Each structure stands twice: as C-alpha cells, then as structure tokens.
Amino acid sequence: MIFTVVFIFFQVVLACIAVYQFSLSLFGFMKNKSRKRHAPSKSFAVLVAAHNEEKVVGALIENLKKLDYPKEMFDVFVICDNCTDGTADIARSMGVHACERTNYHLRGKGYAIEWMLKELWAMPRQYDAVVMFDADNLVNRDFLQLMNDDLCEGHQVIQGYLDTKNPDDSWITAAYAITYWYCNRLWQLSRTNLKMSNFLGGTGMCFETNLLKEMGWGATSLVEDLEFSMRCVKRNIYPILNYDAKVYDEKPVSFRASARQRLRWMQGHFNVARNYFFPLLWASIKERNLVKFDAAIYTISVYNTLLGFLLTAIMWIDMALPTTNVIHSLYGYLPWWLIGVVIAATVLQFPAAMMMEKVRNGKMYAHLLTLPFFLISWWPITFYAFFTQNNKTWSHTQHTRVVRIEEVQSK
C-alpha cells in the first residue's frame, strides 16, 4: 500500500511537470515577425572551438568570411584545443587567427573557451561582443547582423536558432533534426513569447563583452552552455532567442556516436541540476520569480527522464510477473478518453512543430516512425549517466561530413 502511494505520488509529480511544459508549449504556436533593424555598429570576436577538426573547419571559415557584415568589424579566432592534426595550419592558411592551446589535464570546450577569453582580453583590440561556434557548424550570412540588432536593443546574451546540417544522413540525424525543430518552436519560442529566459545550446551564442568580463566564463562542466545559462538566470540576466539567426550543426550519424554524445550531455546535466536546482528554486520562491522557477524545473529535466524510466520499468515488470499486479498505477484511475487525449497531444506535437517550421521534406515525416526509438533510448542513457555523473572526462565527437552552406540552404 505504501509503495503504491509513493509510486502514484511520483507519477503525479511527473504529470504536473508535463502539464506545465505542455501549457508553455502552446505559446510557441505564435510567431512575432516584427524586429527592429539597426545599422552595423557592434564589433565581434568570432570564436570557433576546434579539436582535431581539419576535415570540417575550412568549410566554416569559408562560410564566416562571406557573412553580410562589414569585414573590419569582426575577426575570426579558431581555438585549436590540443589539436594533433592540421586544424591550425588550415586556419592560418585561410587568413584567420589560429590560437593553439595545449593542456591535457583540463580538457573540453568549457576550459578552451575560458582560456581563449583570457587571451582575448589581453589583446590590443577589444570587441563589443563575442560569438561562439563549433568547428562543424555552418551559419546563415545575416547572423552577425541579427546579433548586432539584438545587442543594440540592449540584450546581453543571445542564442541563435539551432538547426541540423545533415538531417538526411541517417535515422539518427533525422531524429536529432525533428527534436531540434520541436525544441526551437515549442520550448524556446514559447519562452520568448512569454518573456522568459531561453537556454543556451552550446553554439551560435553571442555575449556582450562587458558581461563576460564581469561574470567570467566559469562554465567548465560537460554542458557549459546549460551551466552558463543558469549562472545568468541567477543574476537576473535572461538569455534571449533570435529565431532568424540560423546555425546548422552536424549531428552524429551512428547510434553509438549519438549515445556517447548524449551520455556526456546527461552526465553534465546531472551536475548542473545538483548545483543549481535548489538555489534557483529558493530564489524563485523568495522573489516570486516565475523565470527562476522555470529555470529550476529545466535543470531537473534529467531527473524527470530518469524517474520516468524507473516508474515505467517497474510497471512493465509488475505486469509481466505471473501474479496479481502489486502496483496500482495513476493510469488506472483516469478515464480512457483522457489517456487517449494525453497520448494524442504528446504524439502530435512533433509533426505540428515540423509543419509550423515549414519542413517540406517527406522523408522527415516518414522518420516520425523511427523517432520513438530515439526518444526511448534516452532512458537507458540517462540511467547510466546517473551512476557515472562524476566522470567529467570530455569525449570528442568526430566530424567528417563536409557540407557547404549553399548545399544546406538549397534543401
């Protein structure tokens, strides 16, 4: 009896969080196209994080040199972090700064960015803002102009729209693409419309220089983007999303590479949850601040996934045993039509987001049939991440898919 009460209690908690998120997602159906334009006035240091990226970094540098922004108002710095290949040589040959860092003890993008910012602050030329990309990215030509517009409006932390460079490569990359379209529309845009904080996505990020100097980077976990997002929210600085500033990220093609990448994300996410959930929750109560409450709930989404996995596994085991069911689930107390509505609303969110994002590739809609396998695979990955969350060893995702921005935009 006590076990059943506890079981249903946790189901109710997860249901409340799900209803909360679904309610927020409804505000993503609206899209405000009005945006103030400003003449180019902000200068940018464009940082490209790279570890052994000789196969893809050239395409990004070529892309960045063609941005529709005055060339004298931005410089490109490739952070060659512990590189043992020709990444630095390619950067220098293409006329951008190759900044070589060697530190085998402090590995990972967070440490590389922290090092690069210290180097940047010591340079004769100072910039109004810092933009960060990964070496495998591509970006629309108006990216810096859009960042300039938001900076001129007084925003200090800006996230671009994260899209997928190679959605057609495999069912895994298609699943990433669908998930990103869904998150951009029904997670990020909904928070934009509600004037809540957006969350940084690791690339396509822009930061006002004065803010970075004041705060310091200080985000060296396996998910430095989420960590910095929470540091900002704690200080009442709310990152915004520029929905028009598109960045295309290369996704792992194989399930194994994808699982390794997502394991790293979940390990880092557990650490951020541990460090920021209670401070943000307490601040939200004390200040009656919904934005901080939302950020606190976001930090524990990794625990929601873990708890959902455990509850589902227990239910399946209980039903599979050749005895009378011991556990009474919340679903047993709900009318069948309500369960049907919940399932339909959950399933239809993904194609709805794709239609709103004007996805016209029929193959992507066919991949909705394989998407559930990708989503379910988060469960064992998160379960394993919970027991290995103290493993802070950064793992490199290899990128070999050379694509030009023209090819991406033509699709």
Over residues 47-58, the pLDDT tens digits come to: 999 999 989 999
Over residues 107-145, the pLDDT tens digits come to: 888 899 999 999 999 999 999 999 999 999 999 999 999
List all residues 6 or more positions away from 277 whose beta carbon is below 8 Å from its beta carbon: 296, 299, 300
Tokens of 67: 């941005």
Q: Specify which residues 77 forms β-bridges with.
A: 47, 97
User: What SS3 class is residue 37?
Assistant: coil
Query: What are the two backbone dihedrals, phi and then psi, of residue 49, each rounded to the nearest 5 degrees?
Result: -80, 125
pLDDT of residue 4: 78
pLDDT of residue 398: 65
Mean pLDDT value across the chain: 90
Q: Is a pLDDT exceeding 60 seen at residue 244?
A: yes
pLDDT of residue 292: 97
Q: Is a pLDDT exceeding 90 seen at residue 404?
A: no
Q: Is a pLDDT exceeding 90 seen at residue 158?
A: yes
pLDDT of residue 395: 60
Q: Is a pLDDT exceeding 80 seen at residue 339?
A: no
pLDDT of residue 35: 78
Helix ranges restricted to H, 138-254: 143-152, 171-183, 189-193, 209-215, 224-234
Over residues 35-44, the pLDDT tens digits come to: 789 999 999 9
Tokens of 110: 């967070």
How large is the average pLDDT for residues 57-82? 95
Written as one string, the DSSP assignment of 234-297 is HTT---EEEEEEEEEE---SSHHHHHHHHHHHHHHHHHHHHHHHHHHHHHHHHHT-HHHHHHHH
The tally of CA atoms less than 13 A away on the side-chain side of residue 156 is 16
pLDDT of residue 315: 83
pLDDT of residue 397: 66
Q: Is a pLDDT exceeding 80 seen at residue 284?
A: yes
Q: How confident is the model at residue 410 (pLDDT cuts 50, 70, 90)?
A: low
How large is the average pLDDT for residues 308-325? 81
- Name residue 17's amino acid: I
Of 347 and 142, the structure prediction assigns the larger pLDDT to: 142
Lowest-confidence segment of 7-16, 70-79, 121-130, 178-187 by average pLDDT: 7-16
pLDDT of residue 399: 64
User: What SS3 class is residue 225?
Assistant: helix
| Residue percentage of the chain with pLDDT more than 90 | 73
Lowest-confidence segment of 97-111, 125-139, 180-194, 276-290 by average pLDDT: 97-111
Over residues 369-395, the pLDDT tens digits come to: 999 999 999 999 999 999 998 876 656
Q: Is a pLDDT exceeding 60 seen at residue 406?
A: no
Q: Is a pLDDT exceeding 80 seen at residue 236?
A: yes
- CB-count burial class (<10 Å; 0-12, 13-18, 19+) for 383: middle
How large is the average pLDDT for residues 304-322? 86
Instruction: Give the residue among 105, 104, 95, 91 at the shortest CA–CA distance from 49.
Output: 91
Residue with tokens 């939200």: 284
Q: Is a pLDDT exceeding 80 seen at residue 334?
A: no
